[in-house]
A and B are shown apart, each in its own frame.
Chain A
Amino acid sequence: MIPLSYYLILSGVLFAIGMAGVLLRRNAVAVLLSVEIMLNSANLNFVAFSRYIAPEQASGQIFALFVMAVGAAEVAVGLALILMIYRNMQSVNLDQFNIFRW
C-alpha cells in the first residue's frame, strides 16, 4: 500500500500551489481557479484519511462530497460578483481595487 504520508504531503504541496495562485494572481477569475485547486487538495486529504484510518465508515468521503457542494456554490456566487464588478469597473484586475487604501 502507498503510505498515508505520501498522500498527505502531496495534498500539502497542492494546497501550497493553490495558495500561491490566490496570493499572486491579478485576475479575479484566476484567483477563483486557484481557490478550486486548494479545495480539491483538501478533498484529497479527507478521502485519504478516511481510506486509511476508518475505511468502514466512509465519513471522509461524505465530507468531501459536502465540500464539493459548497465549493460549487461558492464558485457560482463568486462569478456572479465578478460579473457585477466587471460591469461597474470595466476591469477585473485586482490591482485596481484599492478603495480601502490609506
Chain B
Amino acid sequence: MDYLSLIVLLPVLSFILLVVFGKRLGDKSAYLSILAVGTAFGLSVKALLDVMGGARADLTFTWLTVGDLELTFGLLLDPLAGMMLVVVTFVSLLVQLFSVGYMHGDKRYGWFYACLSMFTASMLLLVFSPNFVQMYMAWEGVGLFSYLLVGFWFEKRSASNAAKKAFMVTRVGDLGFAIGLIILFLTAGTLDMSQVFAMKFAPETASLIAILFFFGAIGKSAQFPLHVWLPDAMEGPTPVSALIHAATMVAAGVYLVARAYPLFEQGPAAMEFVAIIGTITAFMAATIALTATDIKKILAYSTVSQLGYMMMGLGVGAFAAGTFHLMNHAFFKALLFLGAGSVIHAVHSQEIFDMGGLSRKMKITSLTFVIGGLALAGIPPFSGFWSKDEILLGAFDGGYMGIFAIGLLTALFTAFYTFRLIFVVFFGKARGHHADHVHESPAVMAVPLILLAVLALSTGLLGSPFTGYAYQSFILGGGFEHHTNYMVMGLSIGVAVLGIFGAWLKYSTNLLPSNVLSKNNIVYKLLVNNYYIDEIYEFTLVRPTHAIARYVLTFDQKVIDGAVNGVAKATARIGGGLKYVQTGYAQNYALVMVVSVVVLIIWSFRAMELF
C-alpha cells in the first residue's frame, strides 16, 4: 500500500517542476504533467482493484500536536475513495490530453499545466482524507486552484471577476464548514473520521454539525443559493470547466456528504435539509437551462441541476444511487464539456445560435456529444439512466412523493434542454459565418472524447441488473438488495423521451408555432435572467458591502492615517516651536546654566526644608 502516497505526490512534483521550469519548457510542459497524472491514474486503478479485492488502508502520520489535539496527514482507502481516485485521475488525464490541442499556443502554457497538476493533487488529497482537518485544507486548496484556473485569462476583466466571485461565494460556504468543524471538535474532541463515526451524537447536535458541513457543500457544489458562481466560472478555459466544474471540484461537496454520511444519518433533520436543497437546486437550474443560449452556460446549469440530483439522492437515503450518479455524471459531463470545447474551438463562438449543422463536418464530436446527451437525459442503456432512476426510486421508496414528482419534472426539462442544445448546434442548417471552415478537432482532442463516450455507455451498466448491481454492493461494502419498480422506471424513461420529442418538435421541425413561449413572456424573462438572483445579491449583499468597505476605507484614511500623520505633524510643530531655543549665542547658553544652577539650589534647599 506504499504506492498510495505516490498518487498524490506525483502531481505535486509535476506542479513544482512546472512552476520552476514551465517557461523554459513551453509546449513540452504538457508531457511532464500528463506523465505524472497518467502514472497516478495507473496507480489509482491498481488501488481500486486492491479495494475490490478487499484491501483497505488507513495510513497516517502526525504533523502537529497541540495539547490534546493531534493533527495528522493520512491516506484512507475504502470503496468510496477508490472509486473517486479513478474518476479524478482519469478525467484529469483526459482533460490534460485535450488541452494539448485546445490550449496550444497559449503564452502561459506551463502555468496552466502546473495549476492543473496541483489541482488534481489537492483533489486527490481531499479524497484520501481520513480526518476533517486534512479535508478542509484540501478543500481550500481546490478552491484556490479553481480561482487560479478560472481566472487564467485574467487579462479579461470578466474572467478575473468571475474568479473572484467563485472564490468569495464558496468562501461563504466554507465558513459554515469551518464552524461545523469547530462545533464537532468541541463536542467530539477529535476530528479523525473513524473516531467521530464511532461516536453517538444527539440528533440535534449531529444535524447541526451536518447542516454546517453541508453549507460548505452548498458552496463548493454550487447548490441553491450559492450556485451563482458556477455559470460565471465558465470564463475559464473549457478544459478547466470540464475538469473542475463538471467532474471533480464540484463533486467535492457531494463527496463530503458521502464521507460524513454516518454523521448525517444520526441527524435526520440534516438529511431532509440536504434533500430539499438538492431538489430545489435541480429544478431551478434545469429551468434556467431551458432558455440559455451560451453553450457553456447551458452545461453549467445542467451541472448544477445534476449535482442537485446527487444531493437529492443522498438526502433521501440512497447513498449508493447518489454516489453512482456522481461517478456517471463525472464522465458524461466531462464528455459534454470537452465536446463543447471542440465545437468552440472550431466555430470560435459560444452562442448556440451561431452554430448549426455541425454534425456534417465534425463527425466524432457530434457522435460523442449525442452519446453524452443521451446519458444526461437518462435514456437506457446509457449511464445517466441507471443512476438517475435509482435516485428517483430512492425518493419514491422513502415516501418523498413531492421530491419524486419534482425530480420527474426536472428530468423532463433535462432531456428537453439537452436535446434543444444538440438539435440547434449539430443539426439543421448552418447559421454562423464560420460554417465553411469548420473542421473536426485534432486527434489529441478527439481521443479523449471517444474514451469518455465509451465510459458514458458502459459505467451505467455497473449498477444495473446486468452486472448484478455490482456498483451498489461494492460501494456499500456488502450485500445489496434491489427491488425493481417498473412503474418508476417507466415514468423516468417516458419523461426523458417526452423531453427529447418536445425539443425535436420545437427546434428540428417547424411544427410548433414560434411564439409558444414568446420572448416577452414573464416566465421567459425570469428564466433568461437566471431568476434575477445575481441582481438580488448585488443589491442586498454586494452594494452594502461596498458601502461599508468605502466607509471603512475613509475611516482608515482619515482617522487612523490622520492620527499617525497627526502625531508626525505635532512633533514637527513642537520641534518648530522649540528650535527658537537654539539662538547660537554662547552667552545665552551660559545664562541658562546660571539660572538653572540657582533654581536647582533653591529647589534643593526647599527639599531640605531650609526655607
Contacts and interface: CB of A to CB of B under 8 A. Distances in A.
Contacts of B585: 94-95, 97-98, 101
A23 B594 contact: yes
Contacts of A22: 587, 590
Interface string A1-40: 0000000000000000001001110000000000000000
B584 A100 contact: yes
B583 interface: yes
A102 B582 CA distance: 6
Contacts of B594: 19, 23
Contact of A94 (B579, B582, B586, B591): B586
Interface residues of A, number: 12
A100 B584 CA distance: 4
Interface in B567-590: 579-587, 590
A99 interface: yes
B51 to A, nearest CB: 85
Interface in B372-391: none
B590 A23 contact: yes
A21 B584 CA distance: 19
A101 B582 contact: yes
A95 B594 CA distance: 20
A99 B584 CA distance: 6
Interface string A57-71: 000000000000000
A19 B591 CA distance: 9
Contacts of A101: 582-585
A102 B586 contact: no
B591 to A, nearest CB: 5
A99 B583 CA distance: 9
A87 B102 CA distance: 89
A102 B587 contact: no
Given A19-B594, A23-B594, A102-B579, A94 B584 contact: no
Interface in B161-178: none
Contact of A23 (B579, B584, B591): B591
Contacts of B583: 98, 101-102
Contacts of A95: 585
A101 B580 CA distance: 8
Interface string B530-550: 000000000000000000000
Interface in A43-102: 94-95, 97-102
Contacts of A98: 583-585
Nearest to A26: B587
A24 B582 CA distance: 18
Interface string B193-224: 00000000000000000000000000000000
Contacts, number: 31
A71 B493 CA distance: 123
Contacts of A102: 579-584
A97 B585 CA distance: 7
B576 to A, nearest CB: 9
Main secondary structure of the interface of B (DSSP, over half): helix
The CB with the most chain B CB atoms within 10 A, among A19, A24, A102, is that of: A102
Nearest to A101: B584
A75 to B, nearest CB: 18
B582 A23 contact: no
Contacts of B579: 102
A100 B590 contact: no
B118 to A, nearest CB: 63
A95 B585 CA distance: 7
Nearest to A99: B584
Contacts of B581: 102
A97 B588 CA distance: 12
Contacts of A97: 584-586
Contacts of B591: 23
Contacts of B590: 22-23
Nearest to A25: B587
A64 to B, nearest CB: 23
A95 B588 CA distance: 11
A94 B583 CA distance: 12
B262 to A, nearest CB: 80
A13 to B, nearest CB: 15
A32 to B, nearest CB: 13
Contacts of B580: 102
Interface string B583-608: 11111001100100000000000000
Nearest to A24: B587
Nearest to A19: B594
A51 B581 CA distance: 45
A56 B550 CA distance: 90
A96 B505 CA distance: 108
Interface string B243-263: 000000000000000000000
A52 B131 CA distance: 97
A23 B584 CA distance: 14
A19 B598 CA distance: 13
A22 B594 CA distance: 11
Nearest to B579: A102
Nearest to A95: B585
A85 to B, nearest CB: 13
A15 to B, nearest CB: 11
A23 to B, nearest CB: 5
B474 to A, nearest CB: 90
Contacts of B587: 22-24, 94
B577 to A, nearest CB: 11
Contacts of A99: 584
Contacts of A24: 587
A10 B585 CA distance: 30
A94 B588 CA distance: 11
Interface in B439-498: none
Interface of B: 579-587, 590-591, 594
Interface of A: 19, 22-24, 94-95, 97-102
Given A94-B587, A101-B584, A102-B579, 16 more contacts: A19-B594, A22-B587, A23-B587, A24-B587, A94-B586, A95-B585, A97-B584, A97-B585, A97-B586, A99-B584, A100-B582, A100-B584, A102-B580, A102-B581, A102-B583, A102-B584
23 contacts: A19-B594, A22-B587, A23-B590, A24-B587, A94-B585, A94-B586, A94-B587, A95-B585, A97-B584, A97-B585, A97-B586, A98-B584, A98-B585, A100-B582, A100-B584, A101-B582, A101-B583, A101-B584, A101-B585, A102-B579, A102-B580, A102-B582, A102-B583
Closest 5 CB pairs of A and B: A101-B584, A98-B584, A102-B579, A100-B584, A102-B582
